[in-house]
């Protein structure tokens, strides 16, 4: 059985959010008026795979809250009703449907489910001062935009490899050097430069850094150049298919750094299916995984969350599912600490935004 190793990282790991941010367990059904929450999701189009998993994550959270007595506001349990709309994976439509949800009296929002749509939905929520907790916003360009009403449960993209570097530096003998390969798209380049800066600040000598064309089939030239100086760590910032090719060609070229790490690939089912034993001892990062050892709070730990999710939907959750559930639970916790509604449909949105912080 291939053993890909994963490093959990994040400003707040999803596992911790899933364990800590949750409704209080309660017997009986909620008796208050419903709290209607709008959610912007990519249910069709190029990002539909992640959007559909996020939808399930929201549905799991909605069911959990409502069967646990609802969201408690001044001692009264309110059921949550998540109204989901499809942005078709198109940023312009994400802005339009966000506006529609707000005009339809949704004073709380979840979403969007990826960076491209979140970048267009967030300014609309900000303009109307409607809190939005996103399960998919991780771009530094979005998170560093000084929004007051946008919140995300994900670590920023530029911190993807920091946890892996920290882990490597905790080992003995301590690594001294690193080489970086990265895809030529803007996001991968941004993450790579941030990783190089973090590595240098952590005491590593950056021996090599170079980009390759996104989606390239032959990485042998860049891989050979990166491995040439003999780095202890060889890190790649790219996409799952590129990670597979890197491992295949590294084996063919007998390139064996002390640690080979990726932003994408290890932990994905397709990665291990394609590589089999060749996937062993590759390292990757993830925002969430079922085996995370997080303390159990009033919600479920990651392992039992995965089991319950599989029981409801017939398959295991992924990081999109977990992020959506975490976003929903974060909103629930913020409501319980900051919502003072005259009715369930109206709330102190500024107070809620403060509570979310």
Residues 110-126 have pLDDT tens digits of 999 999 999 999 999 99
Residue scoring higher pLDDT (331 or 337): 331
Round to whole Å and give the CA distance between 135 and 326: 8
pLDDT band at 12; cut points 50, 70, 90: very low
Helix, strand, coil percentages (3-state) for the chain, rounded to 5, are: 45, 20, 40
What is the CATH code of the structural domain delimited by 11-155+292-356? Answer: 3.40.50.2300
pLDDT higher than 80, residue 353: no
Architecture of the domain made up of 159-286: 3-Layer(aba) Sandwich (3.40)
Strands 71-73 and 76-78: antiparallel
Q: Please report how the helices 319-338 and 302-313 are oriented relative to each other, as an axis angle in degrees rounded to 10.
A: 110
Both tokens of 339, joined, read 């919502």
The confidence score (pLDDT) of residue 10 equals 37
Residue 1 CB partners (closer than 8 Å, separation 6+): none
Residue 136 contacts residue 113 (beta carbons within 8 Å): yes
Round to whole Å and give the CA distance between 160 and 143: 14
Average of per-residue pLDDT across 187-196? 93
The confidence score (pLDDT) of residue 299 equals 84
| CATH 3.40.50.2300 domain range(s) in the chain | 11-155+292-356, 159-286
pLDDT higher than 60, residue 37: yes
* pTM of the complete model: 0.80
Round to whole Å and give the CA distance between 235 and 283: 9
Q: Please report how the helices 319-338 and 349-356 are oriented relative to each other, as an axis angle in degrees rounded to 10.
A: 120
Query: In residues, how long is the chain?
Result: 357
Place of tokens 């059985």: 1
Closest CA to 211 of 232, 190, 230: 190
């Amino acid at each position: 059985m291939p053993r890909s190793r994963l490093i959990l990282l994040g400003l707040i790991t999803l596992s911790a959010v899933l364990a800590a941010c949750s409704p209080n367990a309660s017997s009986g059904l909620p008796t208050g008026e419903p709290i209607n929450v709008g959610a912007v999701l990519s249910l069709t189009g190029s990002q539909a795979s992640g959007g559909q998993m996020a939808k399930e994550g929201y549905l799991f959270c909605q069911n959990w809250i409502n069967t646990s007595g609802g969201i408690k506001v001044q001692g009264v349990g309110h059921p949550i009703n998540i109204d989901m709309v499809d942005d078709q994976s198109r940023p312009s439509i994400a802005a339009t449907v966000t506006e529609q949800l707000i005009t339809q009296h949704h004073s709380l929002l979840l979403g969007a489910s990826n960076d491209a749509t979140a970048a267009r939905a967030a300014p609309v929520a900000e303009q109307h001062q409607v809190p939005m907790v996103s399960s998919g916003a991780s771009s530094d360009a979005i998170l560093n935009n000084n929004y007051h009403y946008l919140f995300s449960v994900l670590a920023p993209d530029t911190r993807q490899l920091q946890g892996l570097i920290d882990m490597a530096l905790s080992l003995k003998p301590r690594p001294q050097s690193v080489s970086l390969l990265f895809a030529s798209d803007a996001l991968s380049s941004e993450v790579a430069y941030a990783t190089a800066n973090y590595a240098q600040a952590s005491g590593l000598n950056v021996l090599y850094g170079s980009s390759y064309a996104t989606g390239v089939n032959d990485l042998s030239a860049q891989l050979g150049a990166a491995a040439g100086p003999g780095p202890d760590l060889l890190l790649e910032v790219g996409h799952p298919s590129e990670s597979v090719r890197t491992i295949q060609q590294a084996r063919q070229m007998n390139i064996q750094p002390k640690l080979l790490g990726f932003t994408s690939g290890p932990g994905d089912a397709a990665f291990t299916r394609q590589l089999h034993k060749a996937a062993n001892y590759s390292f990757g990062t993830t925002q969430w995984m079922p085996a995370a050892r997080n303390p159990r709070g009033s919600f479920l730990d990651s392992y039992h969350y995965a089991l319950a999710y599989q029981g409801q939907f017939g398959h295991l959750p992924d990081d999109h599912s977990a992020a959506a559930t975490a976003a929903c639970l974060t909103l629930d916790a913020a409501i319980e600490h900051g919502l003072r509604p005259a009715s369930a449909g109206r709330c102190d949105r500024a107070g809620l935004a403060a509570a979310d912080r």
